[in-house]
Structure 1
Amino acid sequence: MSCVLLAIISFFTTTGTEAARAAPHILFVLADDYGYHDIGYHGSEINTPTLDKLALEGLRLENYYVQPICTPTRSQLLSGRYQIHTGLQHDIIWPTQPNGLPLDSPTLADKLREAGYSTHMVGKWHLGMYRKDYLPTSRGFDTYFGYLTGSEDYFTRDRCYESYCGMDLRDNLEPMNQTGEYSTHLFTQKVINIMKNYDGSKPLFIYLAFQAVHSPLQVPETYTHPYRHIKDQNRRIYAGMVSAMDEAVRNITEAFRAKGLWDNTILVFSTDNGGEILAGGNNWPLRGWKHSLWEGGVHGVGFVHSPFLNETVKGTVSWDLMHVTDWFPTLVHLAGGSLNGTLPLDGIDQWETINGQRISPRNEILHNIDPLFERSGKPAYNGTFDTSVRAALRAGDWKIITGNPGNSSWIPPPDANFAFFKSNQSVNFMLSKTKNVWLFNIAKDPYEDRDLADEYPSKVKEMLDRLSYYQSTAVPCHYPKSDPRADPKLHGGFWGPWE
């Protein structure tokens, strides 16, 4: 063998080894029902020192969007595809529904494992469980520990739905009868254990989907004590839940540091939707809340912290448009992976944007088109998208909403002393029952205070035509009826696969 050939082999072998060693660990933390106003750097009365420090040392994403409810955001994160392209346009996946994120395309975890990662999920799944094929360990995760549904008791793991009740906790495929420990602490310890047992052979991908701060409102009393001045009980307990989650993130990042991995880690923090006002959350000064298509339902809390960020972006704010689907191609790119084998993605690789090297290539976000949601009013225009259908689209600075957008109130934090509300609107502002199209310039009016639909009919028509285009690409909505075979009594008292 010639010296030249040996040199070439040596170069590629060394380069490959260094690339594998340099592959970043990825820690993705997803909070549940975490409101826009509920993080310290957005002016919250809730203390979040860990999240604030990480965000203020990293890049805060202030033009970042998620979906208004749980399942859609999680499905789009792991598939990189809009819910109109996965059949999950309507509502969430309920415990008794034979439904799940379609099996026709690899997940983010599949692609990262393919790229050589050790993949782990801890927390709330909520993407289907009626067959084992839909469980996390069949969707790219080497290990899984957590809840398959949602809304469990934080201490007992009990979950009731309709007339059915059962426990919901799994260690990989095995149901776990483990009670007493608060779920935020339980999930945190599980991540720390993953770190302690890490052998260094592969880069890590850890997807931590907290149950917090979703209802039921439960937290050890020690966390509510600092908020005893908050008169509203729901808000007081919720604040304690946020503090427990903030502490959990601190403990996890310390475990990464103790293992010597933090300097080679990318942390992404995101909420799954806007805060649930009736369960203590708050989205002030944004309009609306969870379930709604207003900014309070879809404008997410998000940031990135990593030594891989350019120094020019650390400690700054990005106003570039970004969507939860974008994490799929962005993280696969960072992992050195390939997008081959995926169905067409709606997400865009945003790493260069995050790193301040280019303006975001994203100009549009389809918030959703829901054909099953109750129609509202009559079509406002002929020959284009039916405005009685619930839908919303962001295009550049503009946003259009059609149909019934959900609760439209501006809700200040409980016990806060606000002298005025936007444009003197009442917090109980109610929508007309006949109106079903709204247009806003979000760049100039992020609080959706001034409806411009009547002033710019040509822009309305342009946006409706774009909704018509997206509707033409949609697959049929899949929202099956409840299946009595899901009853936990038939499965040892646990929620889990029944087919």
Structure 2
Amino acid sequence: MTIDKLIRYGLQHGGITTAQPSCLPSDEVTIAQALQDVGYSTHAVGKWHLGFYKEECLPTNRGFETFYGTYCSSGDHFTYMRNYIIPNNGTLSGIDLHNHTRLSFEPAWDGIGHYSPELLTGEAQNVIRRHATSEKPLFLYLPYLAVHGPIQVPKRYKEPYKDIISDEKRLTLAGMMNCLDEGVGNVTDTLKETGLYDNTIIIFSTDNGGAAQQAGNNWPLRGIKKTFFEGGVRGVGFIHSPLLPDPNKGTTSHAWMHVTDWFQTILSGLVGGDINMTKPIDGIDVWKAITSNSSSPRRELLHGIDPISYLEPLLTGRAALRMGDWKLILGDLCRLYFYCDWFPPKESNITSTKPTEPRNKEIWLFNIARDPLERNDLATRRPGIVKRMMERLKAYNATAVPPWYPPPDPNSNPKYNGGVWGPWE
């Protein structure tokens, strides 16, 4: 596998923060733009989180005909108030809920007060119903805000679990998942009601592991969201469709896949359209592997290279690479924090969850096929593999554009925009 410039967004340090003058580079082709080129009607409902400091960054200028949802990474699930602290500038506060067409960028005032999974489900159903008589195929991108923090849910969704889960945060998270599950079911029912279901493929996927601070749990995997341990990067999902081959329905695929593979898999594997890209495609088409229970064509996976400390100024950067069964992790990630621990559920009565490695450790090597829980570090015993993977990481890093992580801009303050988060340049 040759190395093209795979780290080319400049976003390797972390997600775009609320007040940053940054967004997905305008010369990148989104999946919505690519699908529009082959005749699809494209709509987005939910979380954008790709930057919004200029109008050209907004979803309806990046391939979506309509957008209903939030620009930012998190906010209150009822009020849609998003607070952001800028050191020495105080707290910026504003509403983050929007209703877009290509010609209009309006706050969605009528949605405030409605619980986000229910609100977004309803908007997704509206998109489907409006589209039902169209001759175009439909691409609906539905990134729910749940179960992302803050952990909030109406009481009725917690009721089924109140006698099973004693921890209040876990109970609330279970309620959020209950509401999300209901929403996916309601969207599916609407596809059936409109006659679109029989020709639809539903893809459901997570984007990262659970955050232990917000009641998430990845047990028995090691680590949490924002780490390169399996608890942070291993995701699950499903594909549901009447179009799937009958022998594959209800089966589990263990084909190796990276999130970037969805782009190529959808466009090549499902749509079969020609892709006019301005830059190389990172992903691989794994559709046949998923639907035939065969092995994945992917043999290598770059989890990331972040030369800036993600956690604390005293710490070095971090990186992780998977090659076949081997996974290399670099970075002084355990010295001051609990990001290297395991987090068993409270009801398990398991107490020994701390790593045995020293807290100042900077190199780990695991055989993930044999040790998916990452309990047996082999770095000192397999120096040859460490060296080979280090060289591979260096080759990747040599192609990278510098991280683009500008400081927050006080001009983003919603008070300059009627109390609403929106473009400010």
- Alignment TM-score, normalising by the size of structure 2: 0.91
Separation (CA, whole Å) in 2 of partners of 1:225 and 1:429: 36
Counterparts of 1:61-72 in structure 2, within 5 Å, are: none
Q: State the partner residue of 2:188.
A: 253
Single out whichever of 225-234 and 440-449 deviates more from structure 2: 225-234
The more displaced of 334-343 and 119-128 is 334-343
Match of residue 72, structure 2, among 149, 172, 183: 149
In 2, are the aligned partners of 1:408 and 1:430 still within 8 Å (CA)? no
Shift of 1:305: 1.3
Contact 1:332 1:339 (8 Å CA) reproduced: yes
Residue in 2 that maps onto 1:305: 240
Correspondence for 2:340? 408
Instruction: Tell me which residue corresponds to 2:408.
Output: 482
**Structure 2 counterpart of 1:314, from 249, 257, 260:** 249
Structure 2: tracts of 5 or more residues without a match: 86-90
Report the equivalent of 2:153: 219
Aligned residue identity for 1:457: P
Give 3-state SS (helix, strand or coil) of 2:292's partner.
Answer: coil
CA distance in 2 between counterparts of 1:233 and 1:467 reads: 42
- Structure 2 equivalent of residue 186 of structure 1: 119
Residue 340 of structure 1: CA displacement?
A: 1.9
Cα drift, residue 228 of structure 1: 1.3
What's the CA shift for 1:487? 0.1
Q: 2:40 aligns with which of 117, 125, 149?
A: 117
Number of residue pairs the alignment of both structures matches: 405
Task: Read off the aligned partner of 1:487 and give its amino acid letter.
Answer: N
Question: Which residue does 1:174 correspond to in 2?
Answer: 106
SS of the aligned residue for 1:332 comes to helix
1:203 — aligned with what? 137
Secondary structure, aligned partner of 1:459: helix
Q: 1:388 to 1:443 in 2, by over 3 A?
A: same
- Give, in whole Å, the separation in 1 of the partners of 2:407 and 2:118: 35
Deviations 1:273-317 (A, max 9, x none): 111111111111110101111000000021111223222322211
Cα drift, residue 337 of structure 1: 2.1
Structure-1 residue corresponding to 2:50:
127
**1:108/1:328 contact within 8 Å kept:** yes
Alignment of 1:302-381 (within 5 A): 302-333=237-268, 334-356=270-292, 358-373=294-309
Q: Do the aligned partners of 2:34 and 2:276 also contact (CA within 8 Å) in 1? A: no
Secondary structure at the counterpart of residue 392 of structure 1: strand
Given that 2:309 and 2:316 are in contact with CA atoms closer than 8 Å, whether structure 1 keeps it comes out as no
Measure, in 1, the Cα distance between the counterparts of 2:332 and 2:199: 45
Matches within 5 A, 1:436-447: 436-447=362-373
Structure 2 CA distance for aligned equivalents of residues 395 and 85 of structure 1: 21
Q: Classify the secondary structure of the residue corresponding to 1:439.
A: strand
1:105 and 2:28 aligned = yes
User: Residue type of the partner of 1:116?
Assistant: G
Query: 1:151-185 CA deviation, whole Å, 9 max, x = no partner?
Result: 21111110100010000011012112231110100
Tell me the SS of whatever aligns to 1:312: helix
Pairing 1:448–2:374 present: yes
- CA distance 1:330–1:404, change in 2 (3 Å): same
Q: Residue deviations 1:59-110, cap 9 Å, x none?
A: xxxxxxxxxxxxxxxxxxxxxx95x221100122111100111111210000
Which secondary structure does the structure 2 equivalent of 1:247 belong to? helix
Which amino acid counterpart does residue 360 of structure 1 have in structure 2?
S
2:320 aligned to which of 374, 392, 395? 392
Displacement of 1:431: 5.3
How far apart in 1 are the matches of 2:53 and 2:70? 14
Greater relative CO, 1 or 2 (CA 8 Å, sep 6+): 1
1:336-358 deviation line (CA, Å, top 9, x unaligned) = 32222231111001111112175
Q: Distance in 2 between matches of 1:490 and 1:257?
A: 44
In percent, how many aligned pairs have the same letter?
Answer: 49
> Does 312-321 or 117-126 show the bigger shift?
312-321
Amino acid paired to 2:123: K
Measured on the aligned residues, the alpha-carbon RMSD in Å equals 2.1
Quick one: distance in 2 between partners of 1:185 and 1:457?
52
Distance 1:201 1:336 in 2: 18
For 1:496, the equivalent position in structure 2 comes to 422
The 1:428/1:174 distance shift into structure 2, 3 A limit, reads same
Deviation per residue, 1:318-364 (Å, 9 max, x gap): 12210100000111122232222231111001111112175311001
Q: Which residue of 2 aligns with 1:434?
A: 360
Q: Which residue of 396, 405, 414 maps to 1:470? A: 396
CA change 1:357–1:242 in 2 (3 A) is closer
SS at structure 2 position matched to 1:369: strand
Q: 2: distance between equivalents of 1:357 and 1:217?
A: 36
Aligned residue among 140, 157, 175 for 1:240 = 175
Provide the C-alpha distance between the structure 2 equivalents of 1:243 and 1:90, rounded to a whole number of angstroms. 33
2:197 matches 1:262: yes
Deviates more, 1:335-344 or 1:451-460: 335-344
C-alpha distance in 2, partners of 1:449/1:235?
A: 26
- Distance in 2 (alpha carbons) for counterparts of 1:373 and 1:115: 41
Tell whether the 8 Å contact from 1:375 to 1:404 is kept in structure 2 after alignment.
no
Question: Does the residue aligned with 2:247 lie in a helix, a strand or coil?
Answer: coil
Q: For 1:338, give the aligned amino acid.
A: D
After superposition, where does 1:85-104 map in structure 2 within 5 Å?
A: 85-104=8-27
- Which runs of no fewer than 5 residues in structure 1 stay unpaired? 1-80, 379-386
1:74 corresponds to: none
Conservation of the 8 A alpha-carbon contact between 2:332 and 2:360:
no
User: 1:46-65 counterparts in 2 under 5 A?
Assistant: none
Native 8 Å contact 1:129 1:148 kept in 2: yes
